[in-house]
Amino acid sequence: MALDPAFVADCPYGPGGLLLDDIVRVDREASTIVATMSTHADLPLTREQRAHPERHPQHVSGALMIHATGMLGFAHAYYVLDLRHAEGWIGYGTHIHDGRFRRMGKLGPPMDLTCTATSVRKIRGAIVARYQFRFVQEGDLVYQGDHTALFSNVNRG
Residues in Cβ contact with 63 at an 8 Å cutoff, skipping those fewer than 6 apart: 45
Give me the pLDDT at residue 42, please.
92
How many domains is the chain partitioned into structurally?
A: 1
Tell me the pLDDT of the chain averaged across its residues.
95
**53 confidence band (pLDDT: 50, 70, 90):** confident
The length of the chain is 157
- pLDDT grade for 157, boundaries at 50, 70 and 90: low
pLDDT tens by residue, 68-109: 999 999 999 999 999 999 999 999 999 999 999 999 999 999
For the whole model, what pTM was predicted?
Answer: 0.94
CATH code, domain with 47: 3.10.129.10
Query: Hey, how many other C-beta atoms are within 10 angstroms of the C-beta on 98?
Result: 10
Asked if 40 and 83 touch (Cβ cutoff 8 Å), the reply is no
Higher pLDDT, 67 or 44: 67
Residue 51: its pLDDT value, please? 84
DSSP 29-77: TTTEEEEEE---TTSTTGGG---BTTTB---B-HHHHHHHHHHHHHHHH
Amino acid sitting at position 76: H
Print the domain residue range for 129.
5-153
Whether the predicted pLDDT of 56 surpasses 90 = no
CB 8 within 8 A of CB 18: yes
Asked if 81 and 63 count as a contact pair (C-beta separation under 8 A), the reply is no
**In this structure, which amino acid lies at residue 67?**
H
